[in-house]
Amino acid sequence: MTGESHTDGTAGFLLEMGMLKRAKRSGWWIAGVKDPESIAEHSFRAGIIGSVLAMMEGADPARVALLCLFHDTQETRVGDIPRIGRRYLTAASNESVTADQVSEAHPAVRAGVQRIVEEYENGTGLDVLCAHDADKLECLIQAVEYREQGYQNVQNWIDTSRSRLKTASAQSLAEAALRMTSVQWQETYLR
């Protein structure tokens, strides 16, 4: 494959990732949220949360943010399938979808993206644990915000996300988020 073809394949992957800005987190529709956040919005905050958790837990903040950034990229091809929908579907693995997504990309990009997704899906280290906790904690925080906006059917998301948190830091941040309002952060600076 020529350098230009690799460049086109890599640019195509980047353009495909733009779909994450438009694709909604569809599980929230079950809770009655008419216009939920996009997959990209979720992944962005998961990356921030992952970095913070990594700092608190002694993991690599940049590595955890990278894992979070790529953890849902496959949803450009398969959509955001709510947990209840997964029981009825046999889907390709995230690693398989990723391999297709980057098949025409520059070899270094192809190998790098596949390695990141493989690590997120199958890794066992502290970085991966923090990335998975970040995904769950972001969902919990989003549910708290939706509940504050009047959506009352989000408690299951809060409970499920909370029960799946593994690190002490994620658990303590979840407890703090549940005690606070979504605008309480500004009180510190308005005094």
CA nearest neighbour of 74 among 141, 9, 35, 121: 121
pLDDT of amino acid 73 = 97
Q: What b/e sequence results for 84-119 when a residue is b if at least 16 CB atoms lie within 10 Å of its CB, and e otherwise?
A: eeeeeeeeeebeebbbebbebbbeebbeebbebbeb
Q: What is the CATH number of domain 3-190?
A: 1.10.3210.10
Q: Write the DSSP assignment of the chain as a string of letters.
A: --HHHHHHHHHHHHHHHTHHHH-B-THHHHTT-SSPPBHHHHHHHHHHHHHHHHHHHTS-HHHHHHHHHHTTTTHHHH----HHHHTT-----HHHHHHHHTTTS-HHHHHHHHHHHHHHHH--SHHHHHHHHHHHHHHHHHHHHHHHTT--TTHHHHHHHHHT--SHHHHHHHHHHHHS-TTGGGHHHH-
pLDDT of amino acid 1 = 54
Q: Read off the pTM.
A: 0.93
Task: Tell me the β-bridge partners of 38.
Answer: 24
In this prediction, the residues of the chain whose per-residue pLDDT falls under 50 are: none
Q: How many residues does the chain have?
A: 191
| SS3 per residue for 41-81 | HHHHHHHHHHHHHHHHHCCCHHHHHHHHHHCCCCHHHHCCC
pLDDT of amino acid 129 = 99
pLDDT tens digits, 42-64: 999 999 999 999 999 999 999 99
pLDDT of amino acid 81 = 81
The amino acid at residue 57 is E
